[in-house]
Structure 1
Amino acid sequence: MLLRFSFNNLQDKAAYLPVISWAFYDFANTIFAMNILSLYFVLWATEDHSSTQLTFSLFLSGSMLASAVTAPFYGSISDIVGKRILLLATGVAVCALATSLIGVLGGVTVGLILFAIANYSYQSSNIFYDALLPTVSNSNNRGKTSGFGVALGYIGTITGILMVSPFVEEWGRQAAFIPTAFLFLLFSLPCLVFVKEQQITSSISIDIFRKAYINVYQVVRQAKMHKPAFQFIIARFFYLDAINTLIVFMAVFVSQVLKYSNQQIEMLLIVSTTCAIFGALIYGRISDRIGPKKTLLIILSQWFLVFSSATFTTNPFHFWFIGSIAGISLGALWAADRALLLRISPPDQIGTYFGFYQFAGRFSAVIGPILWGITTDAFLDLGSVRFRIATAVLLVPLIIGLALLVRTSDQPTSIHLATE
């Protein structure tokens, strides 16, 4: 059913095996994102080991900042030498190793350092993965292909939670890390083995870093030539500043504000993730039909409702509806926004532009958690109300991103039209 829905009219370029194999990395990486970034690690650090919200936020933001700074250069390197599969494999291996060692080596401080390393590797790997999308799709089915990857990713999230939660129930949150690392590594293998990228004759050497720097510099200098792409990247910075922060602290919010138990939190995440599957599939098709920009505007309007409702709701039951809308909107977001970037950026610099795309997302994740941490610490005397205030504050960057996206042209560049 899922394959028929997504691949009914795919052309030869997006053959089944490469597409499914590519999408399995989404399956793998959302296991890490949910179990480590959204669920178990933040609670392991802040509740099991009494680390403050601000301390966790600083380690998270530090790893995000490092990945943001290096993202355009990694993307440029992948444009110059190709070998995105090799670069992706390296990031996967480092992330899995660091994750498996959390709680095994040292205490909470070492755990935070390992978390930062794992998150840096995870975020950096996404550059190479996203840049492989043109390899397995074309301009007519990019939204559906991207949406299928996102949908399969959230199926992986549910699978990951169901497979890891028995370990947590038996031995505590620390027991989540090794199984999560193993699942991330295992389900990344199809993408690493079966996706075949176009070969480039350049080899990886020290000189590549100089060439990558020059290429990034030239892209920035020529930003006016591709104004829509850079304007979209700036808009993405603002709306992800809000969305990423809420994702990271959702478990803390419902635990502290609505007094959800661990089991309720897990069930909420499963419900939200199920909704994300349908959001990715449906909005991926909508993106191909009405265009990714219009689709994104609809999605961000839904996020506005999520933030507003979360700020004011007092009934724990209501958050099941809020979480469902958030899930739909999150799956839809990832399906549409990378399709928009591919539409408006030059095809011979896909890696570099995805580097800036990741730069915007990761740098926004530096600001958002710090803003959350400062807000919750500043209103510490207000108890759980401080989390509502922090959620309301995040509406500001969301609205700014929405306004910038409205002003962004989604017409393909002449270079794009000539090559597709």
Structure 2
Amino acid sequence: MNRKLIRSWALYDWANSAFATTIMAAVLPIFYQQVAASNLTGNQATSYWGYSQSIAVLIVAILAPILGAISDYSASKKKFLRFFAYMGMIASVMLAFVDSGEYLFASFLLIIGTIGFSGANIFYDAFLPEISKGTNMDEVSSRGFAFGYIGGGLLLALNLLMIQKYEWFGFSSAEMGTKLAFVSVGIWWFVFSIPLFKNVKEEKKAGQVKRNKSYARIGFSRVANTFREINQYKQLLVFLLAFWLYNDGISTIIKMATIYGSEIGIGSSHLIAALLITQFVGIPCTFFFGWLATKITAKRALTITLFVYIGIVILGYFMSSAAHFYALAICVGVVQGGAQSLSRSIFGRMVPDDRHAEFFGFYGISAKFSAIVGPALFGFVGSMTGSSKLGIFSLVIFFVVGLILLQKVDITKGIEDAKKKTVSNDKVDVHL
């Protein structure tokens, strides 16, 4: 195990988790409702936030498999990662220029930033099988998420101080503290991405075919080919369907919890503090689930997290006070990192060695398309009923059906299928 390489890779999770915590989950949702969308009703702001999230992930979902295929062919995962990361960093800084009533501008920057964050993660995830071979993949994947909890949590704690105790920093108001918190995300993301950009090297594939078409045509060709071949990886396909469903619930909880809490009257200090607790509860619990996977298998450990999520959704439906939100935040912290890291490592095991970025593009598209449905449904139900409680409760079905499909996945057979296909692909002369 190359510890320097793994540490450099994991530090990117530390870096970009600042966007996930401060912008996607904690600070921007409150700022969006109270400042950017101050000319809208509380329920309208929640709905528009959900629609903005859905638009962003729809764009990423369309791009993901194409970019993955191109990066595999051109051996340029790191170039694409850097491009999308810079996009997210710039959008984060630009949020400091959003003023009262400018919810369209805020939504636009949220969309650009989310595209950058999610697009970069496709290529970041695709490095996992290259830096961790076989048996330690659960541990390495869990370490990345744990680093993310630490980094995202530390900056969120600082951002909370910048907002609540703005005078300590010489700021004139909490709003100024909030805007500078957005700037801090871009800076943090950039600084802690440097080890990955410097130390993680792209694996060069032997005997790579010379390019005689544009990268766009190559990308579309490989995506079309992967769509044709995906049925040959039956266990991987069933896992993707399960992941599509339960990830819808997970991503919707992450993106909508804070603005939902704000809508029902929970104070911003309680909302941000509770999400800060989520981060630090998540650190040991993510490592715990990585360890647990070595004892009871990754599939069983993942199953436990999904049962807990069903309880979280039920609690969210009945939530009416800050105490309830704190309880929900603790429960999410216990299982969120474990569910995400184990999903990534299970998928990584069943991917052919020569198709990492391309198949992680499909993993990305599964995650992104699922993330479209939840926030959009949340917004639609809120618009139709005037309340978001039923939107929360509807997430139960995603976890229940996803859990059922997960039990049908034979991971051992999926690994064997991937190995057979890798050997077969090495013998085939691919014409692109």
Q: Same fold (TM over 0.5)?
A: yes
Deviation of 1:290 after TM superposition, in Å, equals 3.0
Residue 427 of structure 2 aligns with which residue? none
Residue 428 of structure 2 aligns with which residue? none
1:167-206 aligned at under 5 Å gives the runs 167-169=162-164, 170=166, 171=173, 172=175, 173-200=178-205
Deviation of 1:417 after TM superposition, in Å, equals 7.3
Which residue among 49, 66, 70 is the counterpart of 2:63?
70
Q: 1:244 & 1:205 partners in 2: Cα distance?
A: 40
1:377-396 aligned at under 5 Å gives the runs 377-380=383-386, 386-396=387-397
Q: Per-residue CA shift, 1:175-205, capped at 9, x if unaligned?
A: 3211111111111111111112212467899
- Secondary structure of 2:97's partner? coil
Please say if residues 122 and 357 of structure 2, whose CA atoms lie closer than 8 Å, have aligned partners that are also in contact: yes
Deviation of 1:163 after TM superposition, in Å, equals 2.4
Deviation of 1:147 after TM superposition, in Å, equals 0.6
Please say if residues 350 and 417 of structure 2, whose CA atoms lie closer than 8 Å, have aligned partners that are also in contact: no
Asked whether 1:209 is paired with 2:216, we answer yes
Residue 430 of structure 2 aligns with which residue? none
- Secondary structure of 1:199's partner? coil
Residue 22 of structure 1 aligns with which residue? 9
Aligned length: 401
Structure 2 unaligned blocks of 5 or more = 167-172, 424-432
Q: Give the AA of the match of 2:183.
A: I
1:307-318 aligned at under 5 Å gives the runs 307-314=313-320, 316-318=322-324
Q: 1:357 & 1:153 partners in 2: Cα distance?
A: 20
Please say if residues 233 and 418 of structure 2, whose CA atoms lie closer than 8 Å, have aligned partners that are also in contact: no
**TM-score, normalization: structure 2?**
0.87
Deviation of 1:315 after TM superposition, in Å, equals 5.3
Which residue among 140, 159, 166 is the counterpart of 2:135?
140
Q: Give the AA of the match of 2:266.
A: Y
Q: Per-residue CA shift, 1:384-411, capped at 9, x if unaligned?
A: xx23222111111221211111112212
- Secondary structure of 1:356's partner? helix
Residue 297 of structure 1 aligns with which residue? 303
Please say if residues 100 and 178 of structure 1, whose CA atoms lie closer than 8 Å, have aligned partners that are also in contact: yes
Deviation of 1:224 after TM superposition, in Å, equals 2.1
Which residue among 94, 105, 108 is the counterpart of 1:110?
105
Deviation of 1:352 after TM superposition, in Å, equals 1.3
Would the alpha carbon gap of residues 53 and 204 (structure 1) be closer, same or farther in structure 2, given more than 3 Å must change?
A: farther
Q: 1:237 & 1:188 partners in 2: Cα distance?
A: 28
Which residue among 303, 319, 327 is the counterpart of 1:321?
327
Q: Per-residue CA shift, 1:44-71, capped at 9, x if unaligned?
A: 2222132522222222211100000111
Deviation of 1:73 after TM superposition, in Å, equals 0.9
Residue 121 of structure 1 aligns with which residue? 116
Deviation of 1:287 after TM superposition, in Å, equals 2.1
Q: Give the AA of the match of 2:79.
A: L
- Secondary structure of 2:409's partner? coil
- Secondary structure of 2:34's partner? helix
Q: Give the AA of the match of 2:241.
A: I
Q: 2:400 & 2:283 partners in 1: Cα distance?
A: 25
Q: Give the AA of the match of 2:254.
A: I
Would the alpha carbon gap of residues 315 and 54 (structure 1) be closer, same or farther in structure 2, given more than 3 Å must change?
A: closer
Residue 48 of structure 2 aligns with which residue? 55
Please say if residues 137 and 145 of structure 1, whose CA atoms lie closer than 8 Å, have aligned partners that are also in contact: yes
Please say if residues 72 and 355 of structure 2, whose CA atoms lie closer than 8 Å, have aligned partners that are also in contact: yes
Q: 2:394 & 2:283 partners in 1: Cα distance?
A: 28
Q: 2:268 & 2:80 partners in 1: Cα distance?
A: 36
Asked whether 1:273 is paired with 2:274, we answer no
Which residue among 346, 351, 362 is the counterpart of 1:356?
362
- Secondary structure of 2:278's partner? helix
- Secondary structure of 1:168's partner? helix
Which residue among 91, 105, 120 is the counterpart of 1:98?
91
Deviation of 1:96 after TM superposition, in Å, equals 0.6
Residue 247 of structure 1 aligns with which residue? 254
Asked whether 1:154 is paired with 2:146, we answer no
Which residue among 67, 73, 77 is the counterpart of 1:84?
77
Q: 1:418 & 1:246 partners in 2: Cα distance?
A: 37
Q: Per-residue CA shift, 1:284-329, capped at 9, x if unaligned?
A: 1222343322221111111111111222244542443332121111
Residue 368 of structure 1 aligns with which residue? 374
Deviation of 1:413 after TM superposition, in Å, equals 2.3
Q: 2:296 & 2:131 partners in 1: Cα distance?
A: 21
Would the alpha carbon gap of residues 70 and 162 (structure 1) be closer, same or farther in structure 2, given more than 3 Å must change?
A: same
Residue 413 of structure 1 aligns with which residue? 416
Q: Give the AA of the match of 2:191.
A: L
Please say if residues 31 and 180 of structure 1, whose CA atoms lie closer than 8 Å, have aligned partners that are also in contact: yes
- Secondary structure of 2:233's partner? helix
Would the alpha carbon gap of residues 121 and 205 (structure 1) be closer, same or farther in structure 2, given more than 3 Å must change?
A: farther
Q: 1:36 & 1:263 partners in 2: Cα distance?
A: 15
- Secondary structure of 1:232's partner? helix
1:223-234 aligned at under 5 Å gives the runs 223-234=230-241
- Secondary structure of 1:413's partner? helix
Residue 337 of structure 2 aligns with which residue? 331
Please say if residues 33 and 259 of structure 2, whose CA atoms lie closer than 8 Å, have aligned partners that are also in contact: no
Q: Give the AA of the match of 1:368.
A: G
Residue 170 of structure 2 aligns with which residue? none
Task: Calculate the aligned-residue CA RMSD, in Å.
Answer: 2.1
